[in-house]
Amino acid sequence: MRRSSLILGVAVLLWGTLQWNATAEWKSALETDGDGWIDLLPAHDLSGWKRVPIPPTNSLGRAQWHVGSTGVLVCDGDGGHDMLRFAEELTNGIFHVEFCYTPVTGTNRNYNSGVFIRNSADGTIWHQAQLTMKGGYLFGNSPVNGVNQRFKTSATESRMKPAGEWNTIEVTARGKVLSVWLNGMETCAYDQCSVPKGFFALDGEGYPIEFRNLQYKRLE
């Protein structure tokens, strides 16, 4: 009887360990080590940043990006499809971004935005961490043997919080590997990026969204 109880206890312990491992979350890189980060949040005049239409052959719509009174970066979502691009090319590093969709009414609530890294200046080459409600994956247009080709990964699970709540994403670029950490878990990786450096940008795609705490930490 005691042996049966012991076996049952071990089984319960193992089951609990497996369940914990299946749902375990870990802190962001910024929370784990706060040293060496560079604040990328734009100034009120958006100096050091540039709007680029998507696709680059399109014309820009009305100005839809501004820094609000609370210091967050706001995309109004009514200026067409564009990206707000940082002026300096960046190489290996971790890009920390916190974002929150403004809830909209009606049936068209397919919230859409993204975080770009290693983009070309005009956006013909791009690597985006998708921020839809089923996002957390990477896709883009990246050169393979000198020819741009579309790629797309799959997210291991949905980690997005609903509109009105803040999410945290970190996109890491190290050599040929790009990976995404979203709200406590790594959700995808892409290991065939041949672009060693490029531009960081945020996507405006028709939905009001706020960004805060934009941080970059260079990796060797």
Instruction: Write down the pLDDT at residue 1.
Output: 45
pTM over 0.95: no
State the Cα angle at 18 between 132 and 31, rounded to 5°: 50
User: 121 vs 53, 86, 156, 178, CA distance in Å?
Assistant: 11, 10, 30, 19
The full length of the chain comes to 220
Task: Give 18-65 pLDDT, tens digit per residue.
Answer: 343 445 689 999 999 999 999 999 999 999 999 999 999 999 999 999
Query: Could you tell me the two tokens for 88?
Result: 């300096």
| Tokens 């929370």 belong to residue | 31
Please state which architecture CATH assigns to domain 26-218: Sandwich (2.60)
Domain locations along the chain: 26-218
- Cα separation, 61 vs 33, in Å, equals 39
